[in-house]
Amino acid sequence: MDNKPTPTPLEELRSKIDETDLGILNLLNKRAGFVIEVGKIKSREQREFYAPEREREVLRRLSENNTGPFPTLALRNVFREIMSASLSLEKPIKIAFLGPVATFTHQACMQHFGLSGEFIPKKDIADVFDDVEKGRADFGVVPIENTTEGVVSHTLDMFVQSSLKISSEVMLEISLALLNKTGKASDIAKVCSHPHALAQCKFWIKNNLPNALVFDVSSTAMAAQMASEDTGTAAVASIAAASLYDLRVIEKNIEDNANNFTRFLVIGKNSSKKTGSDKTSVMFAIKDAPGALYTMLKPFAARNINLTKIESRPLKTKAWEYVFFVDMDGHITDEGVKAAVGELEGNCSFLKVLGSYAKSQY
**Which residues are within 8 A (CB) of 93 and not within 5 positions of it... i.e. 6 or more apart?**
49, 50, 87, 113, 116, 117, 118, 138, 139
DSSP 146-199: ETTTEE-HHHHHHHHH---EEEEEEEEE---EEEESSS-GGG-SEEEE-HHHHH
Is there a contact between 162 and 142 (Cβ–Cβ < 8 Å)? Answer: no
Q: What is the pLDDT of residue 90?
A: 78
Task: State which residues form the domain around 48.
Answer: 10-90
Pick from 58, 90, 122: which residue ends a domain?
90
- Cα separation of 48 and 343, whole Å? 31
| Beta-strand pair 139-146/150-151 | antiparallel
Same domain, 166 and 189: no
Same domain, 28 and 48: yes
Residue 256 resides in a domain: no
Q: What is the pLDDT of residue 260?
A: 80
Strands (DSSP E) found in the chain = 94-98, 118-122, 139-146, 150-151, 165-173, 177-180, 190-193, 213-216, 233-237, 248-251, 261-268, 278-287, 307-314, 321-329, 350-358
Residue 5 resides in a domain: no
Pick from 233, 266, 299: which residue ends a domain?
266
What one-letter code names the amino acid at 314? P
Q: What is the pLDDT of residue 312?
A: 84
Residue 187 resides in a domain: yes
Q: What is the pLDDT of residue 295?
A: 84
Backbone angles phi, psi at 360, to 5 degrees: -65, 140
Short-list 177, 149, 148, CA closest to 236: 177
Q: What is the pLDDT of residue 68?
A: 87
Q: What is the pLDDT of residue 170?
A: 93
Tell me the three state secondary structure of residue 210: coil
Same domain, 164 and 209: no
Same domain, 136 and 103: yes
Residue 335 resides in a domain: yes
Same domain, 156 and 229: no
The tens digit of pLDDT for each residue in 145-162 reads 887 777 888 898 899 889
Domain with residue 32: its CATH number is 1.20.59.10
Domain with residue 237: its CATH number is 3.40.190.10
In the chain the first and final C-alpha atoms are separated, in Å, by 60
Same domain, 75 and 98: no
Same domain, 141 and 193: no
- Total structural domains in the chain? 4
Q: Residues in the chain with pLDDT < 70?
A: 1-2, 287-288, 316-320, 362
Neighbours of 14 (CB within 10 A): 12
- Cα separation of 45 and 27, whole Å? 27
Q: What is the pLDDT of residue 193?
A: 93
| Beta-strand pair 213-216/321-329 | unpaired
